[in-house]
Structure 1
Amino acid sequence: MAMPVPEPAEHGVTSWPGASNTLGSEPSAYLRQHADNPVFWRPFGDEAFAFAAERDVPVFLSIGYAACHWCHVMAHESFEDQETADYLNAHFVPVKVDREERPDVDSVYMAATQAISGEGGWPMSVFLTPDGLAFHAGTYFPPVPLPGRPSFRNILEAVHEAWVERRDGVEQNARGLAANMADAQLSGAVRLDGPPEVLDAALLPDALMLLARSEDPDAGGFGDAPKFPPSAVLEFLIRHAAVPSDTADAARDMAGRALAGMARSALRDQLDGGFARYSVTADWSVPHFEKMLYDNAQLLRVYSHWVRLGGNEVFPAFEAAAVASRCADWMLESLTLPDGGLASSLDADTVVDGVHHEGATYLWTPGSLRDALGPGDAEAVARMMNVGAKGTVSHLGSPLHPARELSDAEGRLWERVRPELLAARNQRNQPARDHKVVAGWNGLAVSALAEAGAILDRPDLVTAAETVAGYLAVVHWDSGSRLLVRVSHDARARGIGGLLEDYAFCADGFLALYAVTGTKRWYYLAEELIEAACSRFVENGHLADSTGESAQVFNAQGQHAALDPFDNATPSGAAGFAGALLSYAAYSGSHEHRLMAGNILGLLPPLATRAPRVAGWLLATAQAGLAGPVEAAVAGPDSPLRRELHRALLMSPSPGLVVALQSDDDGGSPADVDEVPLLLHRSGAPDGSPQVYLCRDMVCERPLGEVSQVQSRLVGMASGG
C-alpha cells in the first residue's frame, strides 16, 4: 500500500519518514561529491528499492563517476537546486551509483537507456519501477529546455504524470523492455560446455579491411568526434602486424598512424605524459581532461608493444619508447596510493575559487607561457605547441600539443623548457583524485608495468608491478572464500564481488608478471583466479559478466544472466577472460581451458564482420590462438646467458607467446612437483648451460641454447613453419 503524502516541512523540503541524503558515509568519492545535495540520495541496494515500493513511487537512478565533467554540471544545475530537489524527493526515491564501483548496474541500465533514448553516456538518468525495471531514460538534462532536449524538471513532471495516470502502460512497457533485453542476451549467449567452432583465419584480414573503412588516415584512429583511444584494436593491429601475411603491413601502418596521432596530440599531456579519456575533436586537439587508470594502463601496454614490434617510419620505436616511459612515470607518480594500489582517476575539472573549470590545470595562454619562460622561449613554444590568443577550450587557454613530429631543434627546446612548464603548472590548483582501487583496472596496470619494464629495460616498473600485484593479492583476493572483491578504499576491500572482467584482468596481469619475473606465486594466483571465475561465472554451461549481485539488475535484464561481448573503455569481460584462459592453457596444458577460450571466441564472427571496433580484444586473442600460441620454457640455472635468452623471448612480438622461467630455488630439477607445468621435465644442457624449449600444445622442439637460434626459430614459427 502506498504511504500517505506528508505535508511539506516549514523549510520547504518535503520530509518523508526516514528520508535524508545518506551518501556522507559512503567511501566512493563520486557518491560523497553528492552528500551535501538537498536531494535525498540513497546508494543502490535493496533498501532503496524497498523504500520506493513502500511509498509506491518510481526510483530515479543517476549514474556517473568522479572524474565526469557533465556529471558535475548537472549536479550544480539541478541536484544542488532546492526547488528541483523538493520535487524529486516528493515524487521519487533518488539513487546514486558510481559506475566504476557498480559496472553491472551501469551496463544493464546503459543498455536500457540506449534502447529507450537512442543515446548513452554520463550522467545517466534512468527511471525505474520499484522492482528495478527501466521505463524511461536519458543522459544529461539541462535546467531549462533547449532545442531538442527538455529540461530536467519537464522530465520529472512528465514521468510523475505517467506513473500516476498511466501506470499499467508504464509497467507493461518496462516488462517488454526487460524481455527484449533477455532475448538479446539469449541470442548472443556463450556456451562453454560444447566443442568450439573452428575459427576461420580469414576473419582477421576481413576485420582489418573493415577497420580501414572507418580509419581517419590524417589524424589517426577511427571514426569522427568524439574520438576515443582505440587501445584494444591497437593490440590486435600490433599482433596482426607481427605475423607475416598480405595484410600485416596494412595493420602496422594503421597502428602507427593512430599511435603517432595520439602521442603528438592534446590527448596526451605533453608535460607529464598521461593520456586523457578522449578528444572532443576528430584531430585529438581538444581533450576531455579526465585521466583514467584503465586508459593509461592499456596505452602503456600498446606503446610498449609497438616498441617491441620495431615501429615504422610514421612512428619510430624510439619515440614510442619515450611516450611509454613517460606514461608509466605519470601513472606511478599521480595514481600510486600509500598502501600500494593505484587510484582510479584524476578529475576532468579543477576547482578554482569554488567553481569547476574543465581542464583549468592544463590550459595555457601566450601570457602564461611568458610568465613561466620569458618572452623568447614563450613565443617559440606557443608556435610549436599551438597556443594562440584565443583559447581552444575556454577563455583559460589551450592545451599544449604539436600535432606533428618535432624537428631535432624543436625537440631540444622542448626537453629544455618542459621541466620549467611542469613546475609552473604544479603551482596551480590540481584536479581531484578518486582514491578508490578497482581490481580489474589494477590488473591491467600490472600487465602493462611488467611488460613495459621488460621491454624498456626499466626494472623499477617491474618492481612497481609486483607492488600492485601484491596489493591485489592481499587486499582484494580471499583465497579461503575464493572471492575477488572489486573495490577497495584505504586498503580495505568493500562492496560487491569482482565481475568477470576483474577476475580476467587480474589473472592476465599475474600471468604477465610471472612471464617477466619467473616468480611462481603469480602463476598460482592466476590459476586460483581462473578456477574461481570458472565456478563463479559459468552456470548451466553459460558464461555471464556477473553473478546476480542485485535482484534489481537481474530483473532489468529479464531475469537472465547477461554477457556483454563488446569492448568499451576496457576490453569486455568475455574477451579478457578468453585471453587469460588461452595463456593459462598454454602454461598448464589444460585442453579444457583452451576449449573454453575457443567457445568464447565463437562470439567473434558476427562482430568481426560488422563491428570490429568493439571487438578488438577478441580479435587480438584470436590472433594469439591462431599463432599457436607459442610456449617457451627457459630452463637451467641463473646466468648471464639465461638472462639474455629470457630477454630475447620477452622482446619477441610473437602473438600470444607465453614465457616460463625456471625458478632459481628449483635447482633445475625437472621433477619438482610444484613447478609450472610448462617447465616440468625441462632442464638445462648436460654441461649446465641454460636452454629454451619452444613448444605448441606442450609438444616441444629440440632445445636451443643461443639467442640467435631462439630469435630465428620464433620468426619461423610465426610464419607457420
Structure 2
Amino acid sequence: MVGGAVMILPIVLTSVPTPLRRILPTIRNLHLRFRHPVSSPNRLPCSRIFAMSESSKTATHSYTNRLASEHSPYLLQHAHNPVDWYPWGEEAFEAARKRGVPIFLSIGYSTCHWCHVMEVESFENQEVAKMLNDWFVSIKVDREERPDVDKVYMTYVQSLHGSGGWPLSAFLSPSLNPLMAGTYFPPEDMHGRIGFKTILRKVNEAWKTKREILEKDGADAIEQLSEAFAAISVNRNVSNTLNQNSLKLCAEMLEERYDKTYGGFGVAPKFPRPVELHLMLYYSKKLLEDKKQNESKETLQIVCHSLQCMSRGGVHDHVGGGFHRYSVDECWHVPHFEKMLYDQGQLVNVYLDAFSYTKDTFYSTIARDILDYLKRDMIGESGEIYSAEDADSAEHVNSLMKKEGAFYIWTIKEIEDILGDSANIFKDHYYIKASGNCDLSEMSDRHDEFKGKNILLERKDVSFMASKWGMSKDEYNRILGTCRQILFNKREGRPKPHLDDKVIVSWNGLVISAFARASKILLTEATEIKFNFPVVGCNPGEYMEVAEKAASFIKNNLYNEDECRLYHSYRIGPSKAPGFLNDYAFLIAALLDMYEYGGQIRWLSWAINLQAKQDELFWDKNGGGYFNTPGEDPSILLRMKEDYDGSEPSGNSVSAFNLLRLSSMFMGEKSDYYRETAEHLLLVFEKRLKEQTLAIPLLCCAADILSSSSRKQIVVVGNKTAKEFSEMVTAVHENYEPNKTVIQVDPSASEELDFWQSNNPSIAQMAKTAPTDKFAIAYICQNFVCRAPVTDLKDLRAVLSEVLKPEEI
C-alpha cells in the first residue's frame, strides 16, 4: 500500500459479479496488463518525491481552467493545469455529446499522495494535456465532495479489478457509462505498468473504430451492476428472525485474523478499522453478562493490545496528537502520513469505550490526545471541523520539493540539537538512531526513502522505561511531555502539510459524537492523573462546547430548515451536492449522543426531524433498507445500498443503531415504527449477516441488540443546572454499557414536559411525580418498567455496577 490511495477490500462488493460477465472486449488487454500500486504494499521509489507546481508558487499562471471557480480544495489544486478541466455537471456532459468524444473522469481528494503525483507527472504535462483536450472532455471530481459520483465508478473499478483506490481514472461515454477504468497511471510505460499516454492513444483509437461496441459494453456493465444491487434491494422472502449468531461468527473470524505480536487484524498494510474493535468490545461485554469471564477477558485483551500497539506506533503522531491513515508495515510503525477526520472521531470513541470498560487512564489519555489535536488544528472560528491534513509537505521553507512525511520525521542530529540534555532519554524511548529507525520490518522502507530519518515509535511502555532510567513514572512522563512540546514548537516552523478545510457533515457527525461522549466519560478519570503534552488536560465540559458549536455550524450553514434537508459539505458556501445517507445517519447519531450526554432537548428534536427526512429521501419503499443517495440526480447511474463497515461505518449500520436508540426512547406507535424499520433494514441484509459477517461488524452488533430484550433506559429527572444532577448523569455514563439509553428531564422546563407528553407520556409522568425535595432522581428501567427510584449517588453507582438481566428489573 502506498501513498494516498486507499485500499477498498474486495469484500465490499461481494454481491457484485467480479469480474463482470461481459465488458470491454476491445480494450480488455489494458485492464489485464494494468496493475495499480495499491495492489501491493510496497512503496515505489522516487515517485513519492515530486516538485511542487510552479504555478502554485507564483501569482500569475500560464493556464486557468473552469476549476478556478470551484470551492473544493482538490479542484482548486488543478485550476491551473493545462488540461481543460470541467467540474462534474451538465456543461461537461453537453460538451461531450456535442463533440462526440468520450469523457475522461479523474476522481481524487486534496490529501491524496498519488493524486498529487499523477497531477505533476501527467496533468501538468503539456503533451498529455493536449491529448486530453483534443480527444476527450476531462472532468475532475473531489470524491469527498461528490461521494455519489465516486461510488458509481469505484464500484465499477472494484468489480473489474477486485480492488481500487485513488486517484480513480475512468473513461466514460457521453451518456456517462464506463468504458474502462483504473487508478494511478504513470505517464510512460514503466515497471510493467502501462503508461497514461499509451492508454489515451488506445482509448481514442478504440472510440474512433469501435464506438458502438464500447458504448454497448458500458451500458451492459451498468445494467449488470444495477441488477446486482437490485438483488440486495428486493425483499427476498427473508425469514422473520434474524440470524443471532452473526456477532459470534464475526468475533471468531476477527480472532483468527488477530496479530498476537503487533495487535490489530490481518497483515500489512494495517488500517485502524475502529468498527472491528467496537464489535470485539461489545462481544466481550456480552460474554461477561453471560458469565463467561475467561472468554470475555481474552476478547477484551485483543482490543486492549491492539489499541496499545496502535498508539505506541508511528501511525500515532506522538508530537502533535491524532492518528495517521494507516501503516505500511505490520508493526504500526511507518505510516501513510495523512490525517483523516473520520479516523479521529471513531478512534476517540473506541478509546473512550476501552477506558469505560477497563478504567485504565491510558485509553482516556489517548482519547484526549486526539480531541486536543482536533481542537488545536482542525476547527475553524465558527466551530466547523475540517476534513483532513495532507501526507506531503515541503522539506524546507524555500523548497519546491514535497515529500511524504517531511513534516513528521526527524534525524538524530535534530533531536540532539533541539532537546539537549534530555535527548538521550527521548532517543531511547522513541527508538531514534543515526541510521534511521525504519528497520523493524521489510515492509517499512523498502526503497530507503527514510534512510537516516526517524519516525517516533515506542517499543516499550512507560513503566518499563521509567524503571530502566531509575525514575518515577510521573517524572519520566513529565520529561517526555516537555520534549514533545519543544519538538512541537520546532516543528511548527516547518512547512505544514496542506489543510483541507472543507466541512463534511458526515465526518463532522463522527467527531461531534466523540466530543459529546468525552464530555461525560472523561469526568470519571482519577483526579490525580497528570497530563503531558500534547494532551492539554482541559475540563471535559469543554468538549461538549466544541460539539455544540460544530452542530450549530451545520444547522446554520448546511441545513435548510424549511425543507428539513442537509447539504453534504461546505467551503466558502454550501456545496451543490445534497446531503447523502451518511450525512443524515452520522449526524443523527451525533445528535442522539449530544442529548444523552448533554441533555438539551433541541438536539433530540432535530434528530427526530432528520430521521423522518432520511426515511423520506433514502428508504427503499419496495425492498427496505436505505439507498446512499436521494435518487434525484439523473447523472448518478447507480443508486446503491451499502452495508460495508470500512474506514467509515455504513449509513445502514449507523441507521440501524439510530432507529433502535429512538425506539427505546418512545412508546406506542412511534416506538413500534422505529423498531420495525430497524428490523426490516436488518432483514434486507440477512444473507450477509449469515455468510459475510466480517464485512459488517457494526451491523452484527445492531442485529444482536435487536434480538435482545435487555435494552435498558435510564431516566434522570431533576434540575439540570444542579451539581447533583450532573453527577448522576456522569455516573450513568461511567461504565461501558452499549445497550442502554439515557434520558434527561427537567420538570421545570415546560418545553421538555410538552415534548415528552407528546412522545412518551411515561417520561412526562416520571418528571411530574418526581420528589420535589431532590435535585436529581434516577429511574433504571426495562421497556419503561422501572425499579424503585434512586436518589443517592452511591446507591446509583451500586445498582449500575450490577450485570442486569431483564428479569431483575
TM superposition score normalised by structure 2: 0.81
Q: How far apart, in 1, do the equivalents of 2:403 and 2:282 lie? A: 40
Task: Check the 8 A contact 1:119/1:138 in 2, yes or no.
Answer: no
Query: 2:457 aligned with 1:371, yes or no?
Result: no
For 2:737, the equivalent position in structure 1 comes to 654
Mapping of residues 558-597 of structure 1, within 5 Å: 561-589=639-667, 590-597=671-678
The alignment covers a number of residue pairs equal to 690
For 2:155, the equivalent position in structure 1 comes to 111
For 2:406, the equivalent position in structure 1 comes to 360
Q: 1:152 aligns with which of 192, 196, 200?
A: 196
Q: How far apart, in 1, do the equivalents of 2:452 and 2:88 lie? A: 38
Q: 2:546 aligns with which of 451, 461, 464?
A: 464
For 1:645, the equivalent position in structure 2 comes to 728
Mapping of residues 298-313 of structure 1, within 5 Å: 298-310=346-358
C-alpha spacing 1:37/1:92, structure 2 compared with 1 (3 Å): same
Q: 2:621 aligns with which of 540, 552, 561?
A: 540
Q: How far apart, in 1, do the equivalents of 2:696 and 2:579 lie? A: 22
For 2:70, the equivalent position in structure 1 comes to 26
C-alpha spacing 1:644/1:34, structure 2 compared with 1 (3 Å): same
Query: 2:286 aligned with 1:208, yes or no?
Result: no
For 1:631, the equivalent position in structure 2 comes to 713
* Residue aligned with 1:495, SS: coil
* Residue aligned with 1:553, SS: coil
Which stretch shifts more, 676-685 or 128-137? 676-685
Query: 2:595 aligned with 1:514, yes or no?
Result: yes
**TM superposition shift of 1:608:** 4.5
For 1:14, the equivalent position in structure 2 comes to none
Q: How far apart, in 2, do the equivalents of 1:445 and 1:489 lie? A: 18
C-alpha spacing 1:605/1:712, structure 2 compared with 1 (3 Å): farther
Query: 2:116 aligned with 1:72, yes or no?
Result: yes
For 1:682, the equivalent position in structure 2 comes to 766
* Residue aligned with 2:145, SS: coil
Q: 1:261 aligns with which of 301, 305, 309?
A: 309
Q: How far apart, in 2, do the equivalents of 1:172 and 1:123 lie? A: 26
**TM superposition shift of 1:672:** 6.4
Q: How far apart, in 1, do the equivalents of 2:300 and 2:241 lie? A: 26
Q: How far apart, in 1, do the equivalents of 2:804 and 2:711 lie? A: 9
Task: Check the 8 A contact 2:250/2:697 in 1, yes or no.
Answer: no
For 2:568, the equivalent position in structure 1 comes to 486
TM superposition score normalised by structure 1: 0.91
Deviations 1:566-610 (A, max 9, x none): 122211111111111111121223211111112222355444455
Q: How far apart, in 2, do the equivalents of 1:700 and 1:717 lie? A: 16
* Residue aligned with 2:407, SS: helix
Query: 2:634 aligned with 1:551, yes or no?
Result: yes
Query: 2:268 aligned with 1:225, yes or no?
Result: yes
Q: How far apart, in 2, do the equivalents of 1:641 and 1:196 lie? A: 48
Deviations 1:693-712 (A, max 9, x none): 22333443433333454445
* Residue aligned with 2:332, SS: coil
For 1:9, the equivalent position in structure 2 comes to none
Q: 1:706 aligns with which of 792, 801, 805?
A: 792
**TM superposition shift of 1:671:** 6.5
**TM superposition shift of 1:377:** 2.7
For 1:44, the equivalent position in structure 2 comes to 88
Task: Check the 8 A contact 1:117/1:137 in 2, yes or no.
Answer: no
Mapping of residues 34-183 of structure 1, within 5 Å: 34-183=78-227
Structure 1's unaligned 5+ residue stretches are 1-18, 312-316
Counterpart code for 2:682: L
Q: 1:474 aligns with which of 556, 562, 566?
A: 556
Q: How far apart, in 2, do the equivalents of 1:718 and 1:94 lie? A: 61
Structure 2's unaligned 5+ residue stretches are 1-62, 439-448, 524-539
Task: Check the 8 A contact 1:190/1:599 in 2, yes or no.
Answer: no
**TM superposition shift of 1:115:** 1.4
Q: How far apart, in 2, do the equivalents of 1:30 and 1:362 lie? A: 23
For 2:529, the equivalent position in structure 1 comes to none
C-alpha spacing 1:386/1:610, structure 2 compared with 1 (3 Å): farther
For 1:234, the equivalent position in structure 2 comes to 277
Task: Check the 8 A contact 1:307/1:321 in 2, yes or no.
Answer: yes
* Residue aligned with 1:390, SS: coil
C-alpha spacing 1:381/1:611, structure 2 compared with 1 (3 Å): farther
Deviations 1:188-215 (A, max 9, x none): 22759x9983233322112100111111
Q: How far apart, in 2, do the equivalents of 1:45 and 1:396 lie? A: 48
Deviations 1:326-359 (A, max 9, x none): 1100011111012211010111111341222101
C-alpha spacing 1:697/1:591, structure 2 compared with 1 (3 Å): farther
Query: 2:465 aligned with 1:405, yes or no?
Result: no
Deviations 1:476-516 (A, max 9, x none): 111201110111113x3221111011001111111100111
Q: How far apart, in 2, do the equivalents of 1:622 and 1:419 lie? A: 45
C-alpha spacing 1:63/1:709, structure 2 compared with 1 (3 Å): same
Query: 2:275 aligned with 1:199, yes or no?
Result: no
For 2:537, the equivalent position in structure 1 comes to none
C-alpha spacing 1:673/1:405, structure 2 compared with 1 (3 Å): closer
**TM superposition shift of 1:720:** 4.8
Task: Check the 8 A contact 2:85/2:139 in 1, yes or no.
Answer: yes
Q: How far apart, in 1, do the equivalents of 2:752 and 2:122 lie? A: 68
Counterpart code for 1:401: L
* Residue aligned with 1:394, SS: coil
C-alpha spacing 1:51/1:629, structure 2 compared with 1 (3 Å): farther
Task: Check the 8 A contact 1:197/1:598 in 2, yes or no.
Answer: no
* Residue aligned with 2:665, SS: helix
C-alpha spacing 1:84/1:549, structure 2 compared with 1 (3 Å): farther
Deviations 1:16-56 (A, max 9, x none): xxx97210111000000011111111111122112111111
Task: Check the 8 A contact 1:484/1:503 in 2, yes or no.
Answer: yes
Q: How far apart, in 1, do the equivalents of 2:752 and 2:494 lie? A: 58
Task: Check the 8 A contact 2:233/2:620 in 1, yes or no.
Answer: no
Q: How far apart, in 2, do the equivalents of 1:146 and 1:626 lie? A: 55
Q: 1:443 aligns with which of 509, 513, 517?
A: 509
Deviations 1:525-563 (A, max 9, x none): 101110110111124334211012532322xx3xxx311
Query: 2:433 aligned with 1:433, yes or no?
Result: no
Counterpart code for 2:82: P
Deviations 1:227-253 (A, max 9, x none): 111111222222222232344333312
Query: 2:464 aligned with 1:383, yes or no?
Result: no
Task: Check the 8 A contact 2:719/2:748 in 1, yes or no.
Answer: no
* Residue aligned with 1:551, SS: coil
**TM superposition shift of 1:713:** 4.2
Counterpart code for 1:599: H
Deviations 1:443-465 (A, max 9, x none): 11111001012111210101111
Task: Check the 8 A contact 1:38/1:81 in 2, yes or no.
Answer: yes
* Residue aligned with 1:634, SS: strand
Task: Check the 8 A contact 1:449/1:465 in 2, yes or no.
Answer: yes
Deviations 1:134-154 (A, max 9, x none): 121111111222334211111
For 2:35, the equivalent position in structure 1 comes to none
Q: How far apart, in 1, do the equivalents of 2:647 and 2:139 lie? A: 24
Mapping of residues 322-333 of structure 1, within 5 Å: 322-333=365-376
RMSD (Å), alpha carbons = 2.3
